[in-house]
Structure 1
Amino acid sequence: MPQSPVQLTRVAPDQINLSDPEFWKAPREHRESVFATLRNEAPVKFFPEIELMNFPVGPGYWALTKHEDIWHASRNPDLFQSGKGTNIPDLTIELNEFFGSMISMDDPKHVRLRTIVSKGFTPKEIARIEEYVKVKARTIVDTVLEKFGDTEFDFVENIAAPFPLQIICEMMGIPQSDEKQILDWTNVILGAGDPDFGGSLENLINVALEIFAYAQALGEDRLKTPKDDLTSIMMHAEVDGERMSPQEFGSFFILLVVAGNETTRNAISHGMLELTRLPDERAKWFGNFEANTKSAVEE
């Protein structure tokens, strides 16, 4: 039975600490009320640095919680830089290389790498990917229906997690036999700052090295033996006579496989949760699916 919409309660801004792991362990209703308070009363607020494993503790950070402020910051690189890192914990230079890629660069480095990467996302390539996404979506849903019928099943495990992972692996030319390994690696990296999963800094670094080495090997293989995949396109793309190095591809690989997989998995999961909690909104969307899809996905 769908849950009732969350009733938010006010929390005083001076009682809020987004750096406290206990905050992220709290029920979702509490966290929603906190972010509502920040948006309404303290949309730009300074917090002390997060103490995460053995990462060095930095000076702190400003948290933007309103959509328009976040949009403004992301569209004004002259005022807001990314080159010193985009994670809240201050990463070492080495870790920033592993996890950063383009999102931890400023121009001119950023524009050079972005131009190379864009060679793999031409209208023709996007159309090919879109068609594969449609086919894979139908396949995954059909598999779930065949396996579970009208009984309950874990939506994240069976749809939200494998769907984007399989799409990304197909795009990059990663064998199906390696998909489980990629999933395990991404879960370790994404769980590093999650209080429900924890994990040591040593394990995080070891996994980063493993996935980086895997990506470099994949890139070097496609330099020698190109195939019909995004990895081959990117490794052979040139801008002003320069190609992406295997090291640069390794960093981009981590960005795409880890961040791309995680954000899509979460969006699908929370989207399904909200459609379950708010049946009227679900009915509104399905009542005119094509017309409402773009705004529904954005919301």
Structure 2
Amino acid sequence: MTRKAQFPDEQSEDGSFERQKDAFDNWVSPSPDSQYPAASGRYHLYVSLACPWAHRTIIMRERQGLAPHIGMTVVDPIRDEKGWRFVDNVPRCQPDPLNGFKYLSEAYRATDPDYDGRVTVPVLWDKETKRIVSNNDDNIMRMFNSAFAKITGQGHDHCPPHLIGQIDRLNQLIYETVNNGVYQAGFASSQKAYDAALYPLFDTLDMLESRLNRGPYLFGDTLTETDWRLWVTLIRFDAVYHGHFKCNLRRLVDYPNLIAYTERLYRLPGIAETVDFDHIKRHYYLTHDELNPSGILPAGPHSIFPFS
């Protein structure tokens, strides 16, 4: 039996969830002659604290010392029929300080008047041209990692050249089976599609549990962007994906290495402040009406919170 899709335009005939491609994919460059040169105060980041894809960019902004140079505005975690909105009555959310937008969709239409896809976060906005530079979280992470290094003086490279090939390969596996895998399971509209997402997800988690026997991070002693790409899914796993998305073969707390790893990264300076479980749970449980038609916000689990 196939049920109604959460996102009809992103559902295949067999009931699989197929995420839409990013609409804007320009790059900020260290070169002053580029279309979007790195500059302090020129760019602004629109995010949701609930969204794992946006969370990656929030972390990289924090880790690379970009907060004084790139402003950030948080949208309402509850996405309504008009999409992500700017509000002033939800803790940690703000009205749009740049253009007075009420909805993030206005930024999309300002960049492309004909845009008719789903509006997503994060969005990197250029205040000079008044356009979206990128809504591609992968590339925003890499821009934040290196493009502003001369401005910030930050020395840590989350994509060291000698590991980049391995990073890209592990990123792809984690994206397909874990980051997007939880969504493919949660938004599957057929049993076949659900099964096809669920078992590879846990196969990869099992592999990562074993991999962490080698060292504190996925690449031994070297902290890379891959760790953060995985971590944003792990931090949400027991609170949302285990129950809400039916990814329930095992919990994160059933993996000794993965739960210790999740706490290890959480304890790094500035990271705890990027996590907001209230925003996370309100978004998933109160936005996905089809998956939670009663609109009940669950109290637990407490198992993921011992270090928070």
Q: TM-score, length-normalised on structure 1?
A: 0.25
More helix by share: 1
Query: Radius of gyration: which is bigger?
Result: 1
Relative contact order: is structure 1 or structure 2 higher (C-alpha 8 Å, sep ≥ 6)? 2
